[in-house]
Amino acid sequence: MRAALLAERYGAANYGSISGTQNAMLTGARTAAPLGIGLVAGLLGGYGAALWLLAGLIACGFCAILLANDAPP
């Protein structure tokens, strides 16, 4: 599904570079996430507080998506 959406929105000519960049960023995030959550849990005093922080970040991201302009480039 993601491949079809990228190709449809940005064209087949740009698909490779966009997909590669997106996958590199996702791989970096997946690699850093366990270390990051451990550091945040240590600083905030437990995993409960770290999960509330992540929930707040997700809410901020959701609001940003709602406010974003969905016009094609």
Domain residue limits, the chain: 2-67
Q: Which two tokens stand for residue 20?
A: 């590669």
In the block, tokens 């991201």 appear at 61
Q: Residue 45 corresponds to which amino acid?
A: G
The predicted structure's pLDDT at residue 19: 87
What are 23-51's pLDDT values in tens digits? 999 999 999 999 999 999 999 999 999 99
What pTM did the predictor assign?
0.58
